[in-house]
Amino acid sequence: MKKWSDTRAPGGRIAYVNGRYLPHGQAMVHIEDRALQLGDGIYEVTSVIGFAPIDEEAHLDRMERSLRELGIAMPMGRPALKLVMRQMIARNRLADGLLYLQVTRGAVRRDHVPPKDPPRPTLIMTMRAQDMTALAARMDKGIAVSTQPDIRWGRCDIKTVQLLPNLLAKQAAKAAGAFEAWLVDRDGYVTEGASTNAWIVDQDGTVVTRDLSNAILPGVTRRIMLEAMAEGQVKVAERKFTLTDALNAREAFISSATGAAVPVVSIDGKVIGNGAPGPLTQRIYALYAARAGIK
């Protein structure tokens, strides 16, 4: 089995916890932290390429929104946060990887009701290498998707650390031989992936992705991709689509900070399009990469 230490940066992985940079294996939070006790926290994931965080402002915009929605204070101002992110990248000496930020309501005696005088929010950052060879293989060959019932709560627009339904769906998808789960609501509409946004290209060549609501996470990659598509004059519709629509699609793909426009070539074992990554998906990746500054 692969241990965390197999992927560590040359100098050893470094994590950030509440003002301190520590060896990853020694970085800890208090046992009464509300994220551990109650799932009371939010997170962000940004891709790091060439020592630079990708789509940084948009991720920080969403982080501020998630915190605002839950009434948790920003742990520090945005310039300071950006400084810590850069310190993390430098100290981990990782040119390419994934940077994780978690903010919790803090450590305080357990009570469902958040305290009137809130404790200092906990801020954690961790970084790890991304398997770029595996990502390239997914871009090249496409991935299989398995559909799972969307059993999540009513505020999927907040990026909370409460990920049980997502991980169970992903586990079921993996058991079915798929890379990602597409979550299907009670009315038969696809909401999104367990950790990605879901997209199809319909028979008219229109790119379709679910419109924003409490039912999905407003993906940062989704947002930047939509801007890139508008600029590239790609026909897009933000609306609901059913599983049947997806099965009849010309192309399908997923998006997230961990992989933009990754082609989907099968859903529940049924081939999408001609079973190979689609040309529009590849063009959308190129448009996104140019906008996000990825070479």
Could you give the residue numbers annotated as active site? 159
- Per-residue binding letters, 155-174, with ligand PDD (x by CB under 6 A): -----------x--------
Single residue of 92, 197, 266, 281 touching ligand PDD by CB under 6 A:
197
Tell me how many residues contact ligand PDD (CB under 6 A). Answer: 15
Q: Does 221 bind ligand PDD (CB under 6 A)?
A: yes
Lookup result for tokens 């933009």: 260
| In the complex, minimum distance from the CB of residue 67 to ligand PDD, in angstroms, rounded to a whole number | 16
Which stretch in 132-140, 220-228, 244-252, 275-283 sits in contact with ligand PDD by CB under 6 A?
Answer: 220-228
Beta strand 41-49 with 52-53 is antiparallel
Cβ-based nearer residue to ligand PDD, 37 or 160: 160
| In the complex, minimum distance from the CB of residue 295 to ligand PDD, in angstroms, rounded to a whole number | 19
Cβ-based nearer residue to ligand PDD, 8 or 222: 222
Q: Does 146 bind ligand PDD (CB under 6 A)?
A: no
Single residue of 123, 217, 264, 267 touching ligand PDD by CB under 6 A:
217
Which stretch in 70-78, 133-141, 228-236, 250-258 sits in contact with ligand PDD by CB under 6 A?
Answer: 250-258
Taking Cα atoms as reference points, which of 196, 177, 210 lies closest to residue 261?
196
Q: Does 150 bind ligand PDD (CB under 6 A)?
A: no
Q: Does 102 bind ligand PDD (CB under 6 A)?
A: no
Which residues in the 20-49 window bind ligand PDD by CB under 6 A? Answer: 45
Phi then psi for residue 101, to 5 deg, are -120, 130
Single residue of 66, 126, 160, 256 touching ligand PDD by CB under 6 A:
256
Q: Does 56 bind ligand PDD (CB under 6 A)?
A: no
User: Site residues (CB under 6 A) for ligand PDD?
Assistant: 45, 166, 192, 195-197, 217, 219-222, 255-258
